[in-house]
Amino acid sequence: MIEKLMKTQLFAWVDRRTGAEAIIKSQLTEYPAPKNLNYMWNFGSLALLMLVLQIVTGIFLVMYYKPSAEATFGGFTVAFDSVERIMRDINFGWLIRYMHAVGASMFFFVVYLHMGRGMYYGSFKEPRELLWIIGVVILLIMQGAAFFGYLLPWGQMSFWGATVITNLFGAIPVLGDFVTQLLVGGFAIGDPTLNRFFSLHYLFPLLLVAIVGGHVHALHVVHSNNPDGIDLHKPEEMIPFHPYYTIKDAFGVAFFLTIYAYIVFFNPQFAGYFIEVDNYVPANNLSTPAHIAPVWYLTPWYTILRSFESKLIGVLAMGGSLAILFLLPFLCKSAVRSARFRPVYQIMVIMFFIDVIILGYCGHSAPTPTLKIVGQLSTAYYFLFFVALPFLPKFEKTKPVPEGI
């Protein structure tokens, strides 16, 4: 179909002015991709899909959402009322809002699997270090966008979650109070906070679009890694991106959308994991919920924060746990990329994935002494994993790496 289109006069006219043919050839029909990519390589396109869906649904939500913490009848606010108006009175507002709220969780789900794939197959290693680093920047901006967005409905968990997180900045020596007040727009979470969070919630996705562009560009310079983690040179090892991976990604998209639609239409709250029960209660600064926890995709880092008695160390550990991701390409020194041929790394990285899930579970549950110790041990392993990486090549016996695929 693309070939037919490229033979038309209209295309020739466009091509003479944009070089469209060269772009299509170099980026799609002649863009070389390894032929042995497995389904773990589908999550990049799914993440892009979720970014687009979040932006599109978000734009429609903003048409009706009102960022104001002004009180209305019955202990509600203008912001809360406008969300309920979207859910009840706007035609298909419920669909758009559930797509957006569930979409946030699905976005993180595919991005975490995308990152896990990169870690397992060594996709962050030379020459893809910058590709990984740009990806970590994307993760941080996503987490920021999700945090800002969660305040907007002005429910109990919006309010108290924002209170807890903004207070963290107070632990920074000297500048702490200034930074907190700048972020909050006053001395406590209130109307100015809501307005600036709304502004930032609109800004961050725009940043994401730009940086995702850089991520894809960087990928197209260094090309995809593959499950064997080896450099491919022979032409018979490669297949053009289009049609092979466009159709494979399309299949992945349809499969993913089926699951996404099932959740949106049949279980949008997902038992309180995607939309928390407490957020159906309007924000009340006089009544703290019994248990404050962020949404599941932020809970691993929340556990790391809570694992330390000192607030400052907790904040530093949480920041460090994210910052250390930037260093991964430089900490992991083994010449072999894929965990398939690295028996020790393979065990360590699978344990790391399980560790992050345990951290997430601990952060979501109400704190108990047992969970606290489990959380502290998991935090210890989280950092131990990164600290041990540089020493692995000294004793790890890697399996022989294949010549080609």
How far is residue 304's CA from residue 150's CA, in Å, rounded to a whole number? 21
**DSSP string for 57-102:** HHHHHHTT------EEGGGEEHHHHHHHHHHHTSTTHHHHHHHHHH
- Closest distance of CB 13 from another protein, Å: 30
In the complex with another protein, the residue whose CB is nearer, 103 or 227, is 227
In the complex with another protein, the residue whose CB is nearer, 11 or 76, is 76
- Closest distance of CB 50 from another protein, Å: 16
- Closest distance of CB 147 from another protein, Å: 20
> Which residues lie across from 238 on neighbouring strands?
34
In the complex with another protein, the residue whose CB is nearer, 7 or 88, is 88
In the complex with another protein, the residue whose CB is nearer, 17 or 88, is 88
Residues making up the chain, counted from first to last? 405
- Closest distance of CB 275 from another protein, Å: 8
User: Within 13 Å of residue 79, how many CA atoms lie on the same side as its CB?
Assistant: 27
Which residue is associated with the tokens 């703290």?
288
- Closest distance of CB 232 from another protein, Å: 14
How far is residue 195's CA from residue 146's CA, in Å, rounded to a whole number? 15
In the complex with another protein, the residue whose CB is nearer, 258 or 370, is 258
- Closest distance of CB 346 from another protein, Å: 9
Give the distance from CA 63 to its chain's centroid: 25
In the complex with another protein, the residue whose CB is nearer, 40 or 312, is 40
229: left (phi over 0), alpha (psi -120 to 50) or beta: left
- Closest distance of CB 182 from another protein, Å: 33
- Positions touching another protein (CB under 8 A) are 35-36, 38-40, 73-76, 81, 84, 87-89, 94-95, 98, 113, 116-117, 120-121, 227, 239, 243-244, 247-248, 250-251, 254-255, 257-258, 261-262, 264-266, 269-273, 277-278, 280-281, 290, 296, 339-340, 350, 353-354, 357, 360-361, 364-366, 405
How far is residue 69's CA from residue 66's CA, in Å, rounded to a whole number? 9
User: Rg of the chain over CA atoms, in angstroms?
Assistant: 23
Tokens of 197: 């969070």
- Closest distance of CB 240 from another protein, Å: 11
C-alpha dihedral sign at 207, 213, 218, 224: positive
In the complex with another protein, the residue whose CB is nearer, 27 or 36, is 36
Cβ–Cβ < 8 Å for 102, 263: yes
ω before 127 within 30° of 0 (cis)? yes
How far is residue 104's CA from residue 143's CA, in Å, rounded to a whole number? 10
Other beta carbons less than 10 A from residue 188's beta carbon = 12
In the complex with another protein, the residue whose CB is nearer, 4 or 394, is 4
